[in-house]
Amino acid sequence: TMPSIFSYQSAEVDWCEGNFERSTVIAEYYNTVNGTTLFSFLLLTPLNFLVLEGAALLTQVSFAFLAGVFSMYFHMTLSYVGQLLDELSILWTLAVAYSFWYPRVYFPRCIKSRKHFFWLSGVTTVISTLMSFIKPAFNAYALNCIAFHLLYLTWRELKKCNDKRVHRMAAVMVMWWVLAISSWISDRWLCGLWQAINFPYFHSFWHVLIAMSLLYCCPLVIYFDVNYEMPSFKPKLGYWPSDSWPVVVPYIALEEPHKQC
């Protein structure tokens, strides 16, 4: 009999962590708990987005919030519906980010305005969503590959910028991303090894590490967006509460007059 798509462990993917070892309700305890990391960073990222349009802020945070909820639900149940909700919420969060903050200078030649780019992003996302139902287990690999395009865009922007603080922040972002993707791949491909030494928790590390990478990615996106969309201001990177603290929250401050980076 075909298992219910809402049933526990009906998903195509089962991560390395043992199931129901610490709870009779939560399938992957540490993956579920560390999925809440996204909520913690959601409380901080709006500080960066306040310099942008309110609609963009509300939409982006709403989708990211849903991604955190669905990630927790998926790892708690390992259900087929949970898997799709987890992956598709990430896809739509990325689509919203691209729609609002993809630099106009990189638009395809056939796209003449941000409104047209919204439509292109929307149609592409709907098609990708429908294709995701064909082989859901492949979705996670495809979503991770989008990071390479983001890294390429960051490299393009850094070539135009001489601000050492921006380059340093980009380097920190990449460092956290490399650690995150290494943890994700290790959990996926070397599960037998980690289970043999009783340490199958690298996917839970991925949740924390990718959140750290996003914490540095958001100010970078805003920095470049301000340069393009708010030319009368000069964006400046800062760290709260202080540059000297070992744990900080990066943010963007706006100064006048604008000086070319």
- The reply to whether 184 sits in an annotated binding site is no
Banded pLDDT at 45 (limits 50, 70, 90): low
Q: What is the pLDDT of residues 71-90, one digit of tens each?
A: 999 999 999 999 999 999 99
- Was 14 annotated as part of a binding site? yes
Ligand-binding annotation for 203, yes or no, is: yes
Residue 28 labeled ligand binder: yes
The phi-psi region of residue 2 (left if phi > 0; otherwise alpha if psi is between -120 and 50; otherwise beta) is: beta
Q: Is 207 annotated as a binding residue?
A: yes
Average of per-residue pLDDT values in the chain: 87
Model confidence at 1, pLDDT cuts 50, 70, 90, reads very low
Q: Has 19 been labeled as part of a binding site?
A: yes
Confidence band for 231, pLDDT divided at 50, 70 and 90? confident
Separation of alpha carbons 19 and 9, rounded Å: 9
Q: What's the pLDDT tens digit per position in 110-146?
A: 998 999 999 999 999 999 999 998 888 888 899 999 9
246 pLDDT above the threshold of 80: no
Is residue 116 a known part of a binding site? no
pLDDT of residue 102: 92
Q: Is 17 marked as binding a ligand?
A: yes
- pLDDT value, residue 190: 97
Neighbours of 232 (CB within 10 A): 9
Domains and CATH numbers, the chain: 29-255 (1.20.1070)
Query: What is the per-residue pLDDT across 146-181, written as a single tens digit (0 to 9) for each?
Result: 999 999 999 999 999 999 999 999 999 999 999 999
Phi, psi dihedral angles at 249 (to 5 degrees): -115, 115
